[in-house]
Structure 1
Amino acid sequence: MLGSSLPSTLFTFDSGTQSRLSPDLESNSSNSISFNAKRLFPAKNLAFIKWRTHSSARTPETVLSEEDMKKWEACRQVFSRFEFTKEEEDKILGKAFGLVHSPYWGEEREVAVPELENVNAVFDYLTGLGLSDDDLIKILKKFPEVVGCSLENELKMNIQILEKQWSIKGKSLKNLLLRNPKVLGYIIDCKGDCKALCTRCWVRF
């Protein structure tokens, strides 16, 4: 079960235990999603937590059931081939599925629990484009949200646009994705009439 309540910086579990989550993990690398209930922020970070709680940069309190936690952990395992740290894995999944704020999504991304089948499908598709694990690491660092993009309606559709409309294929396609992986998540072409979706618009291409 997944739900939201009043804004907070807490990541809350059904068992009643709590783990603190910084909405912006890049700004404070010591603050990460932790599934170990005993692992809370050290005392030296309490001032930071207090500031976050009362700042405008807040994320809604999110409740994950034990089943949701198992799904999250299973998706975490997919990243083991890339040798990311657990904190990096959590940041990628968090940004991809709305548990960590990402300017890329704006206000449109609803909090969701990642499904292993979908995450695997995204990686299988990207690998099928000729991208190596090293390539995927570079893409995930630049664009972690790709894991949360729709395979059919975004990734595949955008690759077709690049190949058919722009004749970008093979090595050229690979180089483009390494340079600008966000193209995989574009959903609109405003054609100069701004729709306020600049982070996901082909105008950036």
Structure 2
Amino acid sequence: MHAQSLLSGAAVELAPEQQEQWAACSEVVQQRCGLEAAAAESALLKAFGWKGQGFWRQERVKQCACQEQVAAALDFLSQLGIAEPADLGGLVSSFPEVLGLRVDVMEENVGILRNKWFLKGNVLINTIKRKPRVLGNLIDCEGNCAGMCTRCWAQF
């Protein structure tokens, strides 16, 4: 992937070695999720704060895509039972920020789904496929709005 193939202005702001890392991440997403190059790059732009801040709220701004981070997120989803390229691709397409989530946050949220909501097996997997944003929840305002609705359990 060449710098000019990166969407938006990301390529201009990345050093050559970062462009190579970005390209490697894009390849991983394409191979494991069955996405086209443009869709993979668009997902990475959102996952690493280059495009849209609705989810990240300035927590992640214009970071270089990290191959270890992307692989760890996809490995976590695979271990959970979302391993087929069609399933991974659908999840990443609907919630690209998952590629930038820390595994410990996702593990904690899956624990909440299991322990608080009593979801297990296919019900858990299908819930995550249907509402993948739950993997990135950080707050439960319990009705007393904290203004972080995109990362709140109240949306679940």
Same fold (TM over 0.5): yes
- Identify the match of residue 93 of structure 2 among 124, 141, 152: 141
Contact 2:48 2:61 in 1 (8 A): yes
What does residue 165 of structure 1 align with? Answer: 116
Q: TM-score, normalised by structure 2?
A: 0.88
Q: In the alignment, is residue 124 of structure 1 matched against residue 92 of structure 2? A: no
Report the Cα distance in structure 1 between the residues aligned to 2:140 and 2:69, rounded to whole angstroms.
Answer: 26
Matched residue pairs, number?
154
What does residue 26 of structure 2 align with? Answer: 76
Name structure 2 gaps, 5 residues minimum.
none
Give runs of ≥4 in structure 1 deviating > 6 Å: 59-62
Deviations 1:97-156 (A, max 9, x none): 01112422233322211211111111111001111221111111110111011111x111
- Identify the match of residue 182 of structure 1 among 133, 139, 149: 133
Report the Cα distance in structure 2 between the residues aligned to 1:60 and 1:77, rounded to whole angstroms.
Answer: 17
Report the Cα distance in structure 2 between the residues aligned to 1:84 and 1:138, rounded to whole angstroms.
Answer: 9
Deviations 1:2-57 (A, max 9, x none): xxxxxxxxxxxxxxxxxxxxxxxxxxxxxxxx7238x999xxxxxxxxxxxxxxxx
Report the Cα distance in structure 1 between the residues aligned to 2:7 and 2:74, rounded to whole angstroms.
Answer: 32
* Residue correspondence of structure 1 range 9-20 to structure 2 within 5 A: none
When the two chains are superposed, the root-mean-square deviation of aligned CA atoms in Å is 2.6
Indicate the structure whose relative CO is greater, using CA pairs within 8 Å and at least 6 residues apart: 2
Report SS of the residue matched to 2:13: strand
Deviations 1:155-192 (A, max 9, x none): 11101111122211110011101110100000000111
Letter in 2 for 1:71: Q
Summarize the Cα distance change of 1:71–1:140 in structure 2 as closer, same or farther, 3 Å threshold: same
* Residue correspondence of structure 1 range 1-80 to structure 2 within 5 A: 35-36=3-4, 63-80=13-30
Letter in 2 for 1:189: D
Larger Rg: 1
Report the Cα distance in structure 2 between the residues aligned to 1:72 and 1:40, rounded to whole angstroms.
Answer: 11
Deviations 1:67-114 (A, max 9, x none): 111110110110232332221111100000011124222333222112
Note the C-alpha offset of 1:61: 9.9
Report the Cα distance in structure 2 between the residues aligned to 1:108 and 1:166, rounded to whole angstroms.
Answer: 28
Contact 2:21 2:65 in 1 (8 A): yes
What does residue 19 of structure 1 align with? Answer: none
Name structure 1 gaps, 5 residues minimum.
1-33, 42-58
Contact 2:25 2:67 in 1 (8 A): yes
Aligned-residue sequence identity (percent) comes to 35
Q: In the alignment, is residue 97 of structure 1 matched against residue 48 of structure 2? A: yes
**When you count helix as a share of all residues, which structure comes out higher?**
2
